[in-house]
Structure 1
Amino acid sequence: MKSVMSNKLVISLYVLPALALILLLIYIPIVLTGYYGLTDWNGIGQAKFIGLENYINLVKDKMFWESAWHSLLLGIFSTISLIGYLILSLILASKIKGANILRKIYLVPMLLSSVAIAQLWAKIFDPSNGMINRLLMMFGVDNPPLWLADSKLVLYALFIPIVWQYAGFYIIIFYAALKNIPEELIEAAKIDGANPFQIAYRIKIPLISGVIKVMVILAIVGSLKYFDLIFVLTGGGPNHASEVMASYMYTEAFTKYNFGYGSAIGFGLLVICLIMTWLIQKLLSSKEDF
């Protein structure tokens, strides 16, 4: 068996199917997207090669950079929300009563589709009969906000269901990392007189710093390409106030049938995600990583 597994030809045969799938489903579409960005194409007829015109227009497109800024804001909000997820995970990992039930409750939003979540929160944000505005009116607010129709509030309103949707995902990963910390370290700290806050700040958080870095990358990059819930709730409106890069790409490609420019937007989104990932890794890297 060892001689077979050390055979390079056998290893190549095992790796080939996975490599073929990765090429077929990831790298070839990326190359094609970059190529279609060099064309003037409506998605049906013959594509006309126009060189870098779409990419030049993309750099000059104020709407693209505005949508990129909205995506970055969502990434910043999502990163800040990690603090709350981490605190909840620390509490759940501290052997409190009902922790098992609470973990299951936090996971419920992950079981729902983004479309279902969007429809649910559309009812909650409803200006006339929504739960939020009803509560505000009960407390004496005569003119509650139009959450999804106010260009100044819509991004903040959208952040609430996004945080709710992904809470279970981040909490369960933080919780699993915290439970992997040797119990002997915690007990030794307690014997030395450390309180729960000191144990969390001095021991637990430093020991899961690698997981925290990965979560920051996932939160920011995931927000940069976020699409489905925003598209269903607002469609990028009002007046492009909630337009993100992915929804702008969809609008150009599938609403205006400008697949060439839509592909350029998609390729630009990929480049921005790669740059942000590299920057985050550099900013969060420590001497131990080198």
Structure 2
Amino acid sequence: MNKMMSDKKVIALYVLPPLLLIMILIYIPIIMTGYYSLMKWDGIGNMEFIWFDNYKELIKDKMFWKSTYHSFLLAIFSVFSLIGYLAISLVLSGKVKGANLLRKIYLIPMLLSSVAIAQLWLRIYHPSNGMINHFLNFLGVESTPNWLADPSIVLYAIFVPIIWQYAGFYILIYYAALKNIPSSIIEAAIIDGANPWQLAYKIKLPLIAGVIKVTIVLAVVGSLKYFDLIYVMTGGGPNGASEVIASYMYQKAFRSFNFGYGSTIAFSLLLICIIVTWLIRGLTKSNEEIQY
């Protein structure tokens, strides 16, 4: 086996096909997007090379910066929601009655498509027939909000189903990491007199610090490029109040037929995600690696 794996032809046979697939599906589209971002193009007719004029326009585009602010706000909410997911995982990883059933309940949103979740929450937020406003009426609130039509609250209303949608995903990651901790370490800590808080804060969390860092990157980058549920529920409205970078890119490229400018937004989003990932990795870098 070792002799076969040291053969360069065998190595090339294993490495080249997936590398070729990655090049075709990821790197070539990225290069082409960067190329289109230098063009004035409606996506159909002839292209006009305009160098960095699209980027100059982007810097002056107030709606782009507004959508960028919304995307980063979603990223902040997503990172803080990880604390709740982690707390739930800590509880479920212990000896809790009904933990198996609770894990399955939390995973249900993962089984639904974003479109199905959007349609569900559209009905929940409905101004006259929605469950939330019915509950508020029951409590005696006469003037109930129009959740998806009020510019002051629509963004936060959309954050709720997004965070709910990915709850099961992150809970599953944390739960698997916690269950991977050797039981001997937990038992030794309990024998030494560690209470549940000390067990969680000083033993379990440091041992899964690497997993937590990965989930922070996933949550931030996923939030910055989030699109589908927002597009189905509000389309970025009303008046851009729920516009994020990805939905703004879609609007410019496929609704306004400004494909060159849409490519500029898309390429800028890629650069933002790379920079943010690099910053997170730098801020969470640790010279000490706990092994067990």
Aligning the two structures, in what range does the TM-score lie when normalised by the shorter sequence?
Answer: over 0.9
In structure 2, C-alpha distance between the alignment counterparts of 1:259 and 1:43, rounded to whole Å? 5
User: 1:203 aligns to what?
Assistant: 203
* Cα drift, residue 210 of structure 1: 0.5
In structure 1, C-alpha distance between the alignment counterparts of 2:149 and 2:92, rounded to whole Å? 37
Summarize the alignment of residues 133-148 of structure 1 with structure 2, pairs less than 5 Å apart.
Answer: 133-148=133-148
Summarize the alignment of residues 234-253 of structure 1 with structure 2, pairs less than 5 Å apart.
Answer: 234-253=234-253
C-alpha distance after superposition, 1:93-143 (max 9, x if no partner)? 002111111111111111110000000000000111100011011101111
Deviation beyond 6 Å, 4+ runs, structure 1: none
User: 1:178 aligns to what?
Assistant: 178
* One-letter identity of the residue aligned with 1:75: A
* Cα drift, residue 172 of structure 1: 0.3
In structure 2, C-alpha distance between the alignment counterparts of 1:15 and 1:25, rounded to whole Å? 16
* Cα drift, residue 59 of structure 1: 1.5
Q: Establish whether residue 227 from structure 1 lines up as the match of residue 224 from structure 2.
A: no
In structure 1, C-alpha distance between the alignment counterparts of 2:270 and 2:59, rounded to whole Å? 14
* One-letter identity of the residue aligned with 1:127: P
In structure 1, C-alpha distance between the alignment counterparts of 2:277 and 2:65, rounded to whole Å? 18
3-state SS, counterpart of residue 214 of structure 2: helix
Gap runs ≥5 in structure 2: none
User: 1:6 aligns to what?
Assistant: 6
3-state SS, counterpart of residue 248 of structure 1: helix
User: 2:93 aligns to what?
Assistant: 93
In structure 2, C-alpha distance between the alignment counterparts of 1:70 and 1:125, rounded to whole Å? 20
In structure 2, C-alpha distance between the alignment counterparts of 1:100 and 1:55, rounded to whole Å? 51
In structure 1, C-alpha distance between the alignment counterparts of 2:221 and 2:284, rounded to whole Å? 15
In structure 1, C-alpha distance between the alignment counterparts of 2:63 and 2:288, rounded to whole Å? 41
Gap runs ≥5 in structure 1: none
The TM-score with structure 1 as length reference comes to 0.98
3-state SS, counterpart of residue 129 of structure 1: coil
User: 1:168 aligns to what?
Assistant: 168
* One-letter identity of the residue aligned with 2:39: T
Pairwise CA RMSD: 0.9
* One-letter identity of the residue aligned with 2:153: L
In structure 1, C-alpha distance between the alignment counterparts of 2:164 and 2:5, rounded to whole Å? 46
User: 1:270 aligns to what?
Assistant: 270
3-state SS, counterpart of residue 226 of structure 1: coil
* One-letter identity of the residue aligned with 1:205: L
In structure 2, C-alpha distance between the alignment counterparts of 1:286 and 1:155, rounded to whole Å? 35
Summarize the alignment of residues 249-264 of structure 1 with structure 2, pairs less than 5 Å apart.
Answer: 249-264=249-264
In structure 1, C-alpha distance between the alignment counterparts of 2:125 and 2:283, rounded to whole Å? 37
* Cα drift, residue 80 of structure 1: 0.3
* One-letter identity of the residue aligned with 1:160: V
Q: Establish whether residue 34 from structure 1 lines up as the match of residue 11 from structure 2.
A: no
Identical columns (%): 67
User: 2:113 aligns to what?
Assistant: 113
In structure 2, C-alpha distance between the alignment counterparts of 1:207 and 1:16, rounded to whole Å? 36
3-state SS, counterpart of residue 166 of structure 2: helix
In structure 1, C-alpha distance between the alignment counterparts of 2:284 and 2:237, rounded to whole Å? 34
In structure 1, C-alpha distance between the alignment counterparts of 2:134 and 2:142, rounded to whole Å? 10
* Cα drift, residue 43 of structure 1: 0.8
The TM-score with structure 2 as length reference comes to 0.97
In structure 1, C-alpha distance between the alignment counterparts of 2:188 and 2:30, rounded to whole Å? 51
* Cα drift, residue 287 of structure 1: 2.4
In structure 2, C-alpha distance between the alignment counterparts of 1:67 and 1:274, rounded to whole Å? 18
* Cα drift, residue 191 of structure 1: 1.4
